[in-house]
Chain A
Amino acid sequence: MNLELLIPLVVYLCAMLGLGFWLSRAPVSGSFVQDYFLGNRTMGGFVLAMTMVATYASASSFIGGPGAAYRMGLGWVLLAMIQVPTVWLTLGVLGKQFAHIARKVEALTINDMLFARYQSPLVVLLAALGLLAAFVATMVVQFIGGARLLETVTGLPYEGGLILFALTVLLYTLVGGFRAVVVTDAVQGVLMLLGTLVLLAGVLHAGGGAPAMFAQLAAIDPGLVQPRGPGGFLGMSFMLSFWVLVCFGVIGLPHSAVRCLAYKDSKAMHRGIIIGTLVGALLMFGMHFAGALGRALLPDLDVPDKVMPTLMLAVLPPIVAGLFLAGPMAAIMSTIDSQLIQASATLVKDLYLNYLSRTPPSPTAIRRASRLVTLALGLIVLWAALSPPEMIIWLNLLAFGALQAIFFWPLVLGLYWWRGNSTGALASMLTGAVCYGLLTTFGIKLLGLHAIVPSLLLSGLAYVVGSLSTPAPTASVRALFGRP
């Protein structure tokens, strides 16, 4: 066991926990549900930016991404830079209209928004089920990723790492709610940024500067310094698919959209866009560039996914490495916590409070139920991660794109096209889910495009056709969405 590395990590986990407890002691203004699931809409610009970036930078971009950059070279950095517009797109497109309507109808979750727009319990039910399935699957995989990382680096056994790590996330989410989630996200975002910059500096220093490393990369394979990658792997349709999947499609991801409900005022949003874009771009560039250059330092790594931890150990002194290993851990934790809180919100707020309870339960009962649901969900995910079933891996492959295929059009067209109605939304969600599921499961690639492109096209078509062939929404809905 590698104590030099383990100690800073444990200190870090404890600090997150302490932060959660400290935040839970803040006086609750307004109702418990609004506070626990949305932090009472008090998020400022910096926290908004950090939480957007941290939620978005998950295990895949901190571990899988640099691993891919290691194999594909600078072309993969180019691909990662596709994500630069994400923050301004999500906040700008959903933006003020989303936040304004959410305040008018007192929406706490994405499903509240969908209900206000489409007035259809069926849409909400479908959305809730899709959300739960996708979140549980991704959380399990994030847990597995986190535990594997601990295992690789510290020599802690897999189960030990998993439990240590899972309990921390669970506890601070449980006691602090959404407020703890976003504040820890902000801290973790800063840490990720520092970790990335220090690592990049370390790599550049160890390799004797960028030009020398480019020359080394070109000597290994000239494809590593070309935009099309080794053997022309990164072709046009591949890149185009990523433009849809990680840039434009992200507008439809419910866990980033929910952050558009929670910021304090329009000034927070403006500042959030600028800071978020800057930090996101730095992170994406730093992580992937370090991964690509890592090939020059460690040319024969058999598992490319280990490139980040291995590089950290190779170029940084152990105690610093331990501290900054918290970077990838932070990325994983901040993705899990936001999905955990949103999955509980879906269960408690959208399904239980809206449909199952005949009489409104007392505030204490709600408070207890909310925490209980968060705990239960966390434990289910933890149990699944201890012996991951095959099904989960498959679901996770689907989750990211499927969420986009389900939510993109109902959210975006719901906001900006008054004619859309519940039939259109239902048709769009079903078409998106089925089409994406089938294309991915059978590995069908139309014109070499990722399944998300045809799925989004078809679900958009279904939305328009479904809406136009049935009556327009009622006057009150139209008035709410700015079309009297």
Chain B
Amino acid sequence: MTDIFTIARCEARLSVALACLYLLCWSVSAYLIPADARWAGWPLWFLLSCVFNPIAFILLCALMIWRYFTPVALGAQDES
């Protein structure tokens, strides 16, 4: 049985890793796309970095919670 500290550490590491991945995708989609490229009238960099990227990471975040976060009892008075 793994204790709450191991679980908490693992989850903290995952959260930071996902944030770093977000940073990476954010900078790639914002700065490596030619600034003049257009898609359906929208600047392509804007569409990718401010619309698609956040949507993708909200989904990834939900996936992270569902797959890897473990429900644990936090204290004596409540069980989950």
Contacts and interface: CB of A to CB of B under 8 A. Distances in A.
Interface of A: 74, 77-78, 81-82, 84-85, 88-89, 91-93, 95-97, 99-100, 103-104, 209-212, 214-215, 225-228, 243, 247-248, 264-267, 270, 273-274, 277-278, 281, 285, 289, 416, 481-482
Interface in B2-19: 3-5, 7-9, 11-12, 14-16, 18-19
A214 B15 contact: no
A298 B14 CA distance: 44
B80 to A, nearest CB: 4
A93 B9 CA distance: 8
Given A214-B41, A266-B71, A95 B35 contact: no
A227 B37 CA distance: 12
A273 B14 CA distance: 13
The dominant DSSP class at the A interface is helix
A384 B53 CA distance: 43
Nearest to B19: A85
A265 B74 contact: yes
B20 to A, nearest CB: 9
Nearest to A273: B65
Contact of A277 (B11, B61, B80): B61
Q: Which 3 A-B pairs have the closest CB atoms?
A: A211-B41, A92-B15, A103-B75
B34 to A, nearest CB: 11
A227 B45 contact: yes
Contact of B41 (A91, A210, A264, A416): A210
A274 B65 CA distance: 8
A227 B35 contact: yes
A96 B8 contact: yes
Nearest to A74: B46
Contacts of B49: 78, 81, 227
A270 B8 CA distance: 13
Interface residues of B, number: 48
B8 A100 contact: yes
B65 A270 contact: yes
Nearest to A215: B41
A294 B14 CA distance: 38
Given A96-B74, A285-B50, A81 B26 contact: yes
Given A93-B12, A277-B61, A285-B50, A82 B26 contact: yes
Contacts of A278: 58
Interface string B40-80: 11110110011101100110011011000111111111111
Contact of A99 (B5, B46, B74, B79): B74
A316 to B, nearest CB: 24
B76 to A, nearest CB: 7
Given A81-B53, A277-B61, A92 B14 contact: yes
A289 B71 CA distance: 37
8 contacts: A78-B30, A81-B50, A85-B19, A95-B8, A99-B74, A99-B75, A210-B42, A289-B50
A92 B18 CA distance: 11
Given A78-B49, A103-B74, A211-B41, A96 B7 contact: yes
Contacts of A78: 26, 30, 46, 49-50
Contacts of B4: 96-97, 100, 482
A274 B61 contact: yes
B50 A74 contact: yes
B23 interface: yes
A276 B78 CA distance: 23
Residue with the highest number of chain A CB atoms closer than 10 Å, among B50, B65, B72: B50
A97 B18 contact: no
Nearest to B12: A93
Contacts of B77: 103
B18 A88 contact: yes
